[in-house]
Each structure stands twice: as structure tokens, then as C-alpha cells.
Amino acid sequence: YGVGPMSDENLMQAIEGPANLMGVQVEPELLQEMIDEVRNQSGSLPLLEYTLLEVWKRRRDQTMTIRDYLASGGVKKALAKRAEEIYAGLKSEQQEIVRHIMLRLTQPGQGTEDTRRRASLNELVAQKQNHQQVEAVVSQFTSARLLTTNLGDQEGIVDVSHEALIRGWPRLRAWIDEDRVGLQIQQDRKSTRL
């Protein structure tokens, strides 16, 4: 069973509760903007949590402000903004690893939205790439809470934390659109092997 959208009151508690426990106030304009942005959306709590963390990092005193929220990119753009910041800070060979990883972690839609898919760390290592380099890039994106992993496990599964990253990061959207046919062929081959 899926969890439905949260009520405005529950959203308010999810936003203000943790901040108040830390002695931090949430500007009323910020509270209203965040509620408006996620109202009636199922599965919005992880995105809200991520955005609150980004706003928390940007605050200058004991108040979380709409200015900090806008600087983070808001609920819909915060993930893409963070992914682009990390990507821009990488060397070109690491950027190519990011492209490869993110395409492998995307299931192209056929008349539907593109979605995330899980993959083992071994599957994410391309022929020309070094396992440690791939693991280092995955680690950077995991530290930023953009990917999730269980690298301690024998198989080491990697997943995109939020599908909003697939839908909202312009660079990834361009990669997917450039390679949609190749991604679909790759997925079809995996399906026939199962």
C-alpha cells in the first residue's frame, strides 16, 4: 500500500518540529511556501526532508528563511542544484563516470515517466573504469544524499535516492534523451535474461 499525501497540519509539524527542537524558528513565509510546494503529493516527505537540510545549512542564525529556501532551489530544484554542484567539481573522467552511473540507474519509460532502478556496484563499473574510481564517485553522491547504497553488503546495491533527481536534473534529462534507445535496448536484454 502506498502512503497518501500528508495534510497541511502534518506537513507543518514535519517542517517546524525538528527545527523547534533545535531552537530554530521557521519563517512563516517559508513554512507556507514549502507546504504549497508539496501539498497533495504522495512521497513528498523525503524531498521535503532533503530540502529542509539544504535550508538548514544555509541559515545564518536561529531562523530558517524564505531567502535560504530560494537559494537552495526549493523542493523541486534542490536535488538538481546539488547534483550539478558536485558534477561541476569533478574532473572530466569522473564526470564521465557520473554520466555512466546515472544512466545505469535510470529505467526509461515507455509512454510513462522515467524511473529509478537499482544496480550492483559491479554493474556500474564500465570496462575502461577503475572500480575504486566508481566507488569514490558513488560515495560523493551518497554523502550528498542523492544516491543510496549498501556497499557493506556483498553485492553493493546502488539506487537513486529521489526520482525527482531523474526528472529534475537538466543534465541527466539530456543524457537520458540522448541515449534513450540505447537504454531501452539494455533494459530489454536484461529482461530477456531473467
Which residues, 6 or more positions from 169, have their beta carbon under 8 angstroms from its beta carbon?
79, 80, 83, 84
Least confident window among 12-21, 65-74, 179-188: 179-188
Across 24-47, average pLDDT: 84
Q: Which helix (H) or strand (E) holds 152?
A: none
> What's the grid cell of residue 117?
532502478
Q: What pLDDT was estimated at residue 181?
A: 67
CA distance 98 to 171: 11
pTM summary value: 0.73
Q: Contact, 161 vs 152, CB < 8 A?
A: no
Least confident window among 36-45, 53-62, 121-130: 36-45
Q: What pLDDT was estimated at residue 30?
A: 94
Residue with the larger pLDDT of the pair 90 and 50: 90
CA distance 82 to 91: 17
Q: What percent of the chain has pLDDT over 70?
A: 85
